[in-house]
Chains A and B, each alone.
Chain A
Amino acid sequence: MTTLPASTQKKLGLVIDLDTCVGCHACVVSCKGWNTENYGAPLSDQNPYGGDPSGTFLNRVHSFEVQPDEGAAQLIHFPKSCLHCEDAPCVTVCPTGASYKRVEDGIVLVNEQDCIGCGLCAWACPYGAREMDAAEKVMKKCTLCVDRIYNENLPEEDRQPACVRTCPSGARHFGDLADETSDVSILVAERGGFDLMPEQGTKPVNKYLPPRPKDTMEEFDILAPYLEPVAKDAGGFLGWLDKALDALPGGAK
C-alpha cells in the first residue's frame, strides 16, 4: 500500500558531514558496486566508453562554491542520495504500490516486480534521489543497503551501508535517528544538523552537518625582522636624505 505509515519504529538514515567530506566520490563508486551486484536490477551504464556516457547512480556528489560577503570562497563537496523522508512524496504518488516505506525501520524501497516505470515518483522527489534505469526500465533508489545492514553473513563491522563503510574521511554516519541517544542523533544535536529543502515539507530522515566556521589566525610573520625597513615618518634632514637616496638608481624598492 502506498499510503505512508503514521510512524515508524526506527528511523534509519544517514548523517553526512559537509565539513569533512573531501569529494573523493568513493561512496559513489562503492554504492554503484554493491548495488549492481546485489539487491534488485543492476545499475546499468549507457555508452560508458563512448562520447556521451551516462548511467544510473543512487548516490551522487555535487561540489558547490559558497561565497561569503567577506573573505575567500569555500568549496563544499555535497553527497546526495535518498533521504528516506518521513513524509515521502515519492511513495504516495505511486499507482501500483511498488514504492513503500517500511514500518519497522522507515527505509523507503521499490518493489521492482510491481514497478511500471511511469517515473512519477522521480517527479515527486525534490532531491533527485530516484533514477529510472535505462536498461531495466524500473525505478532505482538508495535502499540504505538493506541487504547489508541486517546481513548476518557479513562481519559485524560491514553491516552498514556501503557508502558509510567505504568513506575514507569519516564524513558519513549511519544509525537510528528516532533514538535520541544514538551516536547519529547526538552528532546531529551537537553539530546543528539540518534538513535539505525544509520548505518542501518532506521531513527528511537524513541530516547534513554544516561546515565548521573557518578559524582565523592572528597575523604574524617570522620573517618580519629580516624584511626591508619601512620608514614613512622620517622628517627634516633624514626625510630629505630618504627621498634623495630613493631617487638614486639601485636602491631597494
Chain B
Amino acid sequence: MHPAPSIILFTTLSGLGFGLLTFLGLGMPGSTGFTAFVFFTIAYLLAVGGLLFSTFHLGHPERALKAFSQWRSSWLSREGICAVAALVIMAIYGIGRVFFAQHWGLIGGIGAILSLLTVFTTSMIYAQLKTVPRWHMPLTSPLFMALSITGGALLAGQVQFVIPLLILSAVIQVAYWVVGDSRLAQSGSTMESATGLGHIGKVKAFEPPHTGTNYLMREFIHVVGRKHATKLRAIALVLGFALPLIFLTLPFGHIFALLAVLCHVAGILTSRWLFFAQAEHVVGLYYGKR
C-alpha cells in the first residue's frame, strides 16, 4: 500500500491525542486551571490536527459532512461520528476542569470511552479489509489501541503506567510483525486464484494492461518499504520503545520526559509508515507483484 503522509500523520497524531484525552477524562492527571488548559490544548491540537491531516487525503473535502451518514455499515463513518462525539464531550469536561476547577467524573468517563472507541474505529477501517491480509487480523486493533494508550500515558505523564504499557505495546508490535509476515500466504489468494487459471499450470504475468503505470499500481503496489523492512523495524523498536524506557528510568527530569515523548512519536511514525508500506494488497497479484 502507498504510505500516504497524510494518513500516517493522521493515524499517529490523532491516536496520541485521543490516548491523552482518555487519560484526561479519567482524571489522570487531575490538574485544573492553567495546567489543565495546557494538557487539553495539546490533546486537541493532536486529535483535531490529525483529523485535519486526514482531510488532505480526500478528493472532495468540501463534502466531508456526508461521511457521517453511513454509520450502519461503514467503519470510516463510525470513526467520524465517534471522533466528533469524543471531542464534544471532552470539551465540556475540559471546560469544567479549566474554568470551574470541577471534575465531572461521569462526563469525563464517557469522553474517555468515546476517545478509545475512536481509536478502535480507526483500526477497524484497516482490520476490516480482506484485500490486505496483513491488516485483516485480530492483532491490528490491539496494536492501534495499545500504541494510543501508551502515547497517551506518556503525554499525560503517568509514569507508573508508561513503563508496563511500553513493554506491552512492544510485545504486541513485534507479534503484529511476526504474524503479519505470513498473512498473505495464509489468505489463499494467489495469481492462480486471481486468474482462475491454476488448473492449467503455473501463472505468470506476461504483459500488463498498459505500458505505463496507473492508479491501482501507484496506490497498492509499494516495494521500497519492504526492501528495508528489517532495519526500519529495528529503528521503530529502538525509538518507539527502548529509548523512552531508558529515559524514563533515569532520574526524573522534564528534559528526559520530553526526549522520551519525541523518541516515542518518531518510533510510532516509523512503525505506522511500515504498517502501510509493508502491507500487500491482493490486486497486485494481477500484475505479478505484491
Interface, chain A (partner B; CB < 8 A)? 1-3, 18, 28, 52-57, 60-69, 73-76, 78, 80, 89, 91-98, 114-120, 122-128, 131-132, 134, 136-138, 194-201, 208, 210-211
| Residues of B close to A28: CB separation below 8 A | 209
> What's the A-B contact tally at a CB cutoff of 8 Å?
196
Instruction: Indicate if the CB atoms of A132 and B59 lie closer than 8 Å.
Output: yes
B254 within 8 A of A: no
* Chain B positions 195 through 215: 1 when the CB is less than 8 Å from some CB of chain A, otherwise 0: 111011111111111111111
| Residues of A close to B196: CB separation below 8 A | 194-196, 208, 210
Instruction: Indicate if the CB atoms of B128 and A60 lie closer than 8 Å.
Output: no
- Please give me the residue from chain A that is nearest to B126 by CB atom: A123
Instruction: Indicate if the CB atoms of A62 and B76 lie closer than 8 Å.
Output: no
**Partner pick for B193 among A54, A95, A199, CB 8 A cutoff:** A199
A27 CA to B1 CA in the complex, in Å? Answer: 29
Interface, chain B (partner A; CB < 8 A)? 1, 57-61, 63-64, 66-70, 72-77, 80, 125, 128-132, 187-189, 191, 193-197, 199-216, 219-220, 281-283, 286-287
A149 CA to B225 CA in the complex, in Å? Answer: 45
Instruction: Indicate if the CB atoms of A60 and B210 lie closer than 8 Å.
Output: yes
Instruction: Indicate if the CB atoms of A131 and B215 lie closer than 8 Å.
Output: yes
| Residues of A close to B195: CB separation below 8 A | 64, 76, 78, 196
A80 CA to B195 CA in the complex, in Å? Answer: 10
| Residues of B close to A95: CB separation below 8 A | 66-70, 74, 76-77, 80
| Residues of B close to A91: CB separation below 8 A | 73
| Residues of B close to A53: CB separation below 8 A | 211-212
A-B complex: 5 closest residue pairs judged by Cβ atoms = A117-B59, A137-B59, A60-B209, A68-B201, A95-B67
27 contacts between A and B (CB under 8 A): A3-B73, A28-B209, A60-B209, A61-B209, A66-B200, A67-B204, A80-B286, A89-B131, A93-B76, A95-B67, A95-B69, A96-B66, A97-B70, A114-B66, A116-B58, A116-B59, A118-B59, A118-B67, A125-B283, A126-B282, A126-B283, A128-B216, A128-B220, A137-B60, A196-B195, A200-B130, A200-B131
A138 CA to B220 CA in the complex, in Å? Answer: 18
| Interchain nearest-CB distance for B290 vs A (Å) | 13
**Partner pick for A62 among B57, B58, B207, CB 8 A cutoff:** B207
| Residues of B close to A123: CB separation below 8 A | 1, 129, 131-132, 219-220, 281
A116 CA to B57 CA in the complex, in Å? Answer: 10
A65 CA to B203 CA in the complex, in Å? Answer: 6
| Residues of B close to A125: CB separation below 8 A | 131, 283
